[in-house]
Each structure stands twice: as structure tokens, then as C-alpha cells.
Amino acid sequence: MNIIRELVEYRFENKVYSHHVLLAENNNKILLSAINIFLKSHATYSIQTSERYSSSIKRFLEYLIEQQPQGSADHNIWRNAKVEDIRKWQGNIVTERDTKELKKPTDKTIRGNAKIVYQFYCWASKNGFPVLINSTSKAWNYNFKDESKLVQLKSMISGTAPDHANIDLGGTSTKRESTSKKLHIMSDEDISSLMKAYKDPVYPALLMLAMATGMREQGCVSIPYIGVGFNGHIRTYPDIKNEIKDGNKAKMFSFTVTEKGSKERTLQVNMAAWKTICSKFLPHYYKRRKKFKKKFPTKNVDAYFFLKKNGEPVTAKNIADQTYNAKKHLSSFPWTFHSARDWYATNFIIRHLSKAEINNLHYDAAVEDQLRKQLGHSDIKTTYMHYVRQASLVVALQSGQLDYTLGKDDDFFNGLVGD
């Protein structure tokens, strides 16, 4: 028996839903009704959430099938799962990962996926489905502390003078990290290399937007061609200058974005970066816009700016997949698209604090507040102190090997993408 995952879209009570469903396939396909009801009620906010929830449950069901004699599993196998099955599933992943000496999936990821599975069974029990797992049992928790071979990384916040021993400039290492997490620092050359490795120009444009804002992938792909509501001023460059106050002098414009669930925040977009993004991507956009209209005649084309070659809107998963493919062509390249978020935050600290303040791990409430709002973090240590420490490593590099500061915005962003 195979477990199949499909994406469905439908209208119910005047609302359009889009989420994944799971089917059991043997001689025919059978919808796993309880699981799909759970996915509809818990994972319809975004496709990314639906992918995470449905993938976690799918992998667990596949594990259950593997434990059965070949050909004996049926579509009701999910009903007979016990809490120890969730624990053993995690252990199986940890063992396989450590045997192959991999660092992913991390302990946190494995436990997060298991928590989604446990959450489903608690919901099923509460709603009267015949399952053997309930919310009173804690036996689903796997003992990562004793069983996982991954080194437990220490906190990056020490409160003492910065330690410059773990700067990583992109070289490979055969030894595992022993005491603290290495800080990967992206140089201008690294950023340009990644941009050139993408096969579709939409991804370098998105990477530049992430660098200019600190937005997550989900936020980047949501920026419209023409905005509405709070984002009613959003236009491509130079038209946006006519929509905002002092447009000809403005160095930033606001963008209200929703990321990670329903959390909404308003951040600032660098105008110089937006100018370069538009100049490089607009010629491609207009061709793709025509394909979008043919493919999605009922959808508002102005709600999407970043379109793929086939006219479909780019998703966060597309970014992850295409970055993975791009990195195959780069030697010893430890960075990802998400590294642009760290790049933004570290550079923000360098711009707003003096070298002495950075080296002394100085806390500035105003700077912390701005950065926290821009990144969408709620924890001060996560937002501020982490990046002050990373900034201390950057400013400690005096050899000229890295040019980490932006300098003049127009020159910097244009220089990344070239002519």
C-alpha cells in the first residue's frame, strides 16, 4: 500500500480552501477521511503549513506500513498506532541520520514532525475517532539527549567578550562542531555566485528582496505587482515614487506582510534594492503575466509579482527547491536563501552601532526594537544579541577578505547582479 499526497482547491461556504489531502492506494485510492478533516481544520492557512502537516503524517504512515509484513497493511493502519510507534519512528530517523553521519534532519525538526502526528491523534481521540492514542500520554517523546549523536549546541549568547574562534568562511570541515555553533558569513562574492547559479531570474530578484528586508521566503513571494489595503501604495519602480510621500527622496517604503501563521507586521523595503529588482525582473514579468492570465483567468494578476517561467506564482517551496539545485553547481557552499535573513540582520547591527559598542555587546533598546519589528521576532535574545555577536565577528575581520558592509545602496545592489 502506498500513501499519496495531493493538493486540492475547492469552495465551501463562500470561501476558497487550498490544502493537501492524503490517500491510501492499494488496488484503488481511498481518502483517509479523519486525517483530511484534520488537515482542513489545522493546515489551510498557507500551503507551507499544509505541506509540513501533511508530509509529517504521510511519513509516519509510511513508517507504520514498513513495520507490517509486506502486503498486509490496509487503509485503517493509522487507527492502530500507539504512542510508542511515534517514539520509535523518531528513533528510527535519528539512527538512520547518525549512521550516515548527517546533520539533517535536526533533532528539533524530527521532534516537531512527531508533535504534529501526536497532535493529530489527540484531535482524533477528542473527536470520537477510534484511535489508541490520547492526550494524557507523554510516551511519544523520544529521548534525544541520550540517544541522538548530534552535538547539543551551546547558546550563542554568553554575555562576555566575543569569541572569534568559530568564523567559517565557507571551507569544508571533516570534524563535527564541538562546543559552539559556527557563524557562516556571506561575502559579496558568495551572494553573487548564488544569484548566478539560479536558472530562473526570478530567484536572484527574490534573494535581493530578502537581503533588503530580512523577510522570510513566504513574505518575499507575497509582494504584489499592485497592492491593496495597507499595501495600496505598492507599485514597481519608478511608479511607486508617485504613491508614497516624498517619493523622489525616499530611501525606504513600507510593506505589510503576514508570515508564520497569522502574525502580521509592517516592515521597510530598501528603495535602491527595489529599483534594481524591478529593472532586472520587469522584462521577464510582462511575458509571464500573459501566461498567468491564460492559466488563471479568474485570479487577480496584480496580486502577484514574482512569477515563474510558466506563469505560476513562486512559492516558498519553489525557492527552497531551486536554491538546492543552484547549490549543486557551487563548491562547498554552506549558505541558503534563508541566510539572506541573517545577512540583513547582521548588517543592520553594523550600520546602527559603533565598532566599540558591537565588541562590548552593547544593548540599544531602540535598535533592538527596530530589528525585532523588521524580522518579526518576539524574543530579544533571538533578535538582538545573536546578531550583535555575529556582527562582532564580521568587524573583527581586518584582512580585507570580506567586504560585508553595504556602502552606497545603488552601487551595492547593482553590483551584485551585474549588467
**Residue 160 clears pLDDT 80, i.e. is over it:** no
Per residue in 36-93, pLDDT (tens digit) is 888 888 887 788 888 999 999 999 999 999 888 876 777 788 888 999 999 999 989 9
Per residue in 327-367, pLDDT (tens digit) is 988 877 778 888 888 888 888 898 888 888 887 878 888 88
Least confident of 68-82, 177-191, 286-300, 386-400: 177-191
| Sign of the CA dihedral with 358 first, then 363, 365, and 369 last | positive
> What is the rounded distance in angstroms from the CA atom of residue 294 to the CA atom of residue 288?
10
The answer to whether the CB of 6 falls within 8 A of the CB of 23 is yes
**Residue 276 clears pLDDT 90, i.e. is over it:** yes
CA distance to 119, 286, 294, 302, per residue, from 298 (Å): 36, 18, 9, 12
pLDDT at residue number 165: 42
Least confident of 47-61, 167-181, 185-199, 260-274: 167-181
pLDDT at residue number 404: 42
Compare 395 and 107 and report the one with higher pLDDT: 107
pLDDT at residue number 406: 43
133-138 average pLDDT score: 77
> What is the rounded distance in angstroms from the CA atom of residue 261 to the CA atom of residue 372?
17
How many percent of the chain have pLDDT more than 90? 37
Report the run of H or E that residue 270 belongs to, with start and end.
strand 263-270
Per residue in 203-232, pLDDT (tens digit) is 999 999 999 999 999 999 999 999 999 999
* Cell numbers linked to 36: 483530511
**239-265 burial by CB neighbour count: b if 16+ within 10 A, else e?**
ebbeebeebeeeebbebebebeeeeeb
pLDDT at residue number 196: 92
Taking alpha carbons only, the member of 376, 331, 370 closest to residue 351 is: 370
Compare 201 and 258 and report the one with higher pLDDT: 201
Burial class (CB in 10 A: 0-12, 13-18, 19+), 314: buried
Per residue in 225-273, pLDDT (tens digit) is 999 999 999 999 999 999 999 989 999 999 999 887 657 889 999 999 9
**Residue 293 clears pLDDT 70, i.e. is over it:** yes
The pLDDT confidence band at residue 382, using thresholds 50, 70 and 90, is low
pLDDT at residue number 177: 34
pLDDT at residue number 261: 63
To the nearest whole number, what is the mean pLDDT of the chain? Answer: 81
**Residue 144 clears pLDDT 90, i.e. is over it:** no
CA torsion angle 217 222 223 228 (round to 10): -160
**Residue 143 clears pLDDT 90, i.e. is over it:** no
Per residue in 315-337, pLDDT (tens digit) is 999 999 999 999 988 877 778 88
86-111 average pLDDT score: 87
What secondary structure letter does DSSP report for 381? I
The pLDDT confidence band at residue 150, using thresholds 50, 70 and 90, is low
pLDDT at residue number 380: 61
The pLDDT confidence band at residue 185, using thresholds 50, 70 and 90, is low
The answer to whether the CB of 54 falls within 8 A of the CB of 20 is yes
Least confident of 80-84, 292-296, 397-401: 397-401
The answer to whether the CB of 306 falls within 8 A of the CB of 337 is no
pLDDT at residue number 1: 80
For Cα atoms 192, 194, 197, give the angle at the middle one, nearest 5 degrees: 110
How many percent of the chain have pLDDT more than 70? 82
* Cell numbers linked to 117: 502526528
pLDDT at residue number 410: 60
pLDDT at residue number 400: 43
